[in-house]
Amino acid sequence: MRKILFVLPIILFQFGFLQSQEKFNEVKFNIANTIAIASVELGYERFIDDHQSLEGVLLINDRINYHSEKGSREFSTQSYKLGYNYYFGEDSPASGLYANPFLKYRTGEFSEDAPDALEPEFSGDIITDMNTFMIGLGGGYKWNFNNTFVLGPFINIARNFSEEVKDRFSAIEFNAGFNVGYRF
């Protein structure tokens, strides 16, 4: 019994010490797109090991290929992205160059006033259904400061599978930004 009472606190202390050193979660925010186009991009990563993670990202006001909302054009879209990250850096956990294959689903619509010259009998908005499934590949670089704060640029390219979106915009979508993150 004495051995258990002696060994148990040591094991709990070591487990607590090791647990406090390991950081398995990261929240991140794409500050560049918020400043440039008023799009909010929030992400969460769960690390599998020092070189791999799974991520989920919520994109509010997700604009395809950075199209502007000048005049009477408006995006009312949200996207959900699930991805896998593989980090190639060796210096610190989950840092350096990384590759990011992902799946993304966008919901919402794009509306714009009908040009009078093209459709004089139509006086309302032209609405494009933006619901689409995408598959893509991204990459970037992540600087890791004391395994607590992370910064880094990224770029993504994806193919959407909606005929309506492809007819109005493009089948290929581009996204880039600069993430600021915190690990815990």
pLDDT in tens, 138-167: 999 999 999 999 999 999 999 999 999 999
Q: Is residue 18 part of a domain?
A: no
How many of the other CB atoms lie within 10 Å of CB of 122? 12
pLDDT for position 115: 64
**Radius of gyration over every alpha carbon of the chain, rounded to an integer in angstroms:** 22
Q: Can you give the residue range of the structural domain that contains 170?
A: 25-183
| CA distances for 174 relative to 9, 28, 114, 157, 169, angstroms | 53, 20, 26, 5, 12
- Domains contained in the chain, number: 1
Beta-sheet pairing, 52-60 with 40-49: antiparallel
Q: Is residue 85 part of a domain?
A: yes
Q: Is residue 84 part of a domain?
A: yes
Q: Is residue 173 part of a domain?
A: yes
| CA 8 – CA 44 distance, rounded (Å) | 35
Q: Quick one: which of 149, 45, 62, 134 has its CA closest to 98? A: 45
**pLDDT exceeds 60 at position 5:** no
Each residue's pLDDT tens digit, 77-101:
999 999 999 999 888 889 999 999 9
CATH number, domain of 67, equals: 2.40.160.20
